[in-house]
Amino acid sequence: MANMKKALMVVESPTKARTIGKYLKDSFEVVATVGHFRDLPKSKMGVDPKNDFEIDYVIDPKKKDIVAQLTSLSAKADKIYLASDPDREGEAISWHVKWLLTNGQNSKLKTQNLKQKEIKRISFHEITKEAIEEAIEKAGEIDINLVNAQQGRRVLDRLVGYSLSPILWRKVRRGLSAGRVQSVAVRLIVERETEIEKFVKENYFKVMADFGFVADLFKVEGKQFIISSKVKLFDGEYSFSKSLFSLENQAKEFVSQLQREFDVTAVESREIGKTPLPAFTTSKLQQMAARRFGWSGKQTMSLAQRLYEQGLITYHRTDSVNLSAKAIEEFRKYIGEKYGQNYVADAPRVYKNNSKNAQEAHEAIRPTKVNLLTVEGDAKENKLYEMIWRRAVATQAKAAKLSNTTVILKNGTGEFKSIGVKVNFDGFLKISGDKHEDQLLPELKVGDKLKAKQVKYEEVSTNPPPRYTDASLVASLERQGIGRPSTYAPIISTIIVRQYVTRDEGKLLPTALGKATNEFLSKNFNDILSLPFTAEMEESLDKVALGKLDWKKMMHDFWDKFEKEVKNVEKTAERVKVATESTGEKCPECKVGELVIREGKFGKFVSCDRFPDCKFTRTYKELAGFNCPLCGNPGVVKKTSKGKKFFGCSKYPDCKWAAWKKP
């Protein structure tokens, strides 16, 4: 038994390897590649468009020890199972591992005998003993279509990045880089900021009556009092409301003509059912975590990765809302035992994928053990896990029952409306934890007369379209068919790291550099940075993944046009200047230039506008509009290392006053 050979299982992460190792014990050796170990070179393009897009893959020098370990262990194993993640990236990693084990790097590795060994691909969406054993029984081959979809995306992004970046160096600023999807995300944010700057605020007056409950004026002389207006945006339309009363004297005169008594002219009550939302997809998980906890997509995915690798949740990169029949059965049984049979949905609730681009046959994100309500260790991991658990389990609970009552009251030419809601049966809300406050109205019937305690009007302003947050940007990208589960978080983190966008109190704002870069790219490469084109490329990659399109044909179709555009722009495009804000001061060093505010890696700083001829710089201090309550010197706006805004004294460290809010 001591000399018995072990099978080898190859995964990506050490944590995943340890979790699987506990289940397989002595029969398997489980080793991690620690992500990709073979990829495109960093120092050159690594793709040859003239030679049918041949790829020059190189092994990461930092992964030489891992490569040696893989080679050594594979030589001792009788069977090899490639168990990387169940998506395109995971399939590609398995493909590269198989290449390594069957080809090797040189004759000294003696891997040629592995060609006769059994090398199988296994796939599972949850790291549980049962799922792994079932995957081993159903071991198959690498899906080359998924591999090609990953190669297609990698090559496409490399060609765009390596073609556009040198142009940006010459036409905008040295050191810049461009990404295919990232540049579209920047464009969304810049376009939204443009609409905000163009938006003309309008004031209007709304009228309401207080009866112990509030009724709002919604019709005057039979016409809608509140009217809707729309702003055409780059990614759709934004609607806002305003009233017929644009002047205060209109509202004042209307209110003065009202009688004290109101007539109840309509009472409509109906019971409505509110059904639970489907279990989380990747994008919906990131959106909810951003709204509820203020987390970035990157932070959410990092926490989800840890939960998945510990075997606590199913695979967290998915755009499917499906749940397995086994999970549905377990959830229904648990709800019956924990909350009572009257809380279990009458029939198993199944959700349909709305997205035509839904990738491989994944499940939605759910807990692997329904009886595990909390997880040990990290508090943030537990927060995310509980949110996932509640959302998934609640899918199999009965709908909540709510009474919805609408009351119409008339006074003169005006009609007022009030809506009341009462929860009759909480249903899935008991599990999901979603709050639904009752808004109760008194028992009323047509013909009743009510005296208002007060009738008043108040001034309201129309608001511009909101700035993007992590959540709303991911929602917009998903709605436009741009990006996929594995790319949402990297898109946002990349554009922030590249200083095209900054995050201010949860809002995404374009920097001067982002605006200048977007101006150049959208002017000269408008088609490639358009929403329809980017979505079309995502659809093409999906077709490659399904075996319906050859990835090299896709690349030829793209490159033939793109290469010509690049050459034309190199010759004809005008340089774009990055806008700077002047401080009104002369440079103290060269005495010639003016000091301007620039964006840098660590935020704003002050420098001479003659840079690089003059290299004077100093720290930028943004005045907060008040004086320090301790020493009287100007207060300034500061940011924590995580980007959260606070206020401090401009004379720090001599004065250490600081606060989260203005004094």
Domain ranges for the chain, please list them. 7-142, 151-198+467-572, 203-275+400-461, 282-396, 581-659
Average model confidence (pLDDT) across the chain: 90
Torsion of CA 312, 317, 318, 323, to 10 degrees: 0
Reply yes or no on whether the pLDDT at 106 is more than 50.
no
d(CA 237, CA 218): 24
Q: Please answer whether residues 66 and 34 qualify as being in contact, where contact means their C-beta atoms are separated by less than 8 angstroms.
A: yes
Q: What is the pLDDT of residues 395-427, one digit of tens each?
A: 999 999 999 999 999 999 999 999 999 999 999
Q: What is the pLDDT of residues 134-181, one digit of tens each?
A: 999 999 999 999 999 999 999 999 999 999 999 999 999 888 889 999
Task: Give the HSE-up count for residue 483: Cα atoms under 13 Å, Cβ half-sphere.
Answer: 25
Predicted confidence at residue 361, as pLDDT, reads 58
Cβ(398)–Cβ(342) under 8 Å?
A: yes
Furthest C-alpha separation in the chain = 99
CA gap 110, 362 in Å, rounded: 38
Of 204, 308, 315, 488, which residue is the catalytic one? Answer: 315
pLDDT digits (tens, 9 = 90+) for 364-403: 999 999 999 888 878 999 999 999 999 999 999 999 999 9
pLDDT at 112 over 60: no
Does 315 participate in catalysis according to the annotation? yes
Residue 65 is classified by DSSP as H
Peptide bond into 490 cis (omega under 30): no
Six-digit token string for 65: 């020890």
7-142 CATH, one of 3.50.50.60, 2.30.30.790, 3.30.365.10, 3.40.50.140: 3.40.50.140
Q: Under a CB-based contact definition with an 8 Å cutoff, are residues 603 and 497 in contact?
A: no
Fold of 151-198+467-572: Topoisomerase I; domain 2 (1.10.460)
On the 0-12 / 13-18 / 19+ scale of CB atoms within 10 A, 462 is: middle
- Whole-number pLDDT of residue 191: 94
Q: DSSP characters for 457-485?
A: EEEEE--PPPPPBHHHHHHHHHHTT-S-T
| Fold assignment, 282-396 | Topoisomerase I; domain 4 (1.10.290)
166-202 burial code (b ≥16 CB/10 A, e <16): ebbeebbeeebbbbbbbbbbbbbbbbbbebeeeeeee
Residue 70 scores a pLDDT above 60 = yes
Q: Which of 117-126, 267-276, 353-362, 509-518 has the lowest mean pLDDT?
A: 353-362
The residue to which tokens 């989800």 are assigned: 304
For residue 328, give both structure tokens: 């549905």
Which DSSP string do the residues of 506-566 spell out, in sequence order? TEEEE-HHHHHHHHHHHHHSTTTTSHHHHHHHHHHHHHHHTTSS-HHHHHHHHHHHHHHHH
**Could you give the CA distance from residue 296 to residue 253 in angstroms, rounded to a whole number?**
50
What would the pLDDT profile of 273-290 be if each residue is shown by its tens digit? Answer: 999 999 999 999 999 999
Q: What are the pLDDT digits (tens) for 468-501?
A: 999 999 999 998 889 888 899 999 999 998 889 9
CATH code that applies to domain 203-275+400-461: 2.70.20.10
Check whether the bond before 532 is cis (ω within 30° of 0). Answer: no
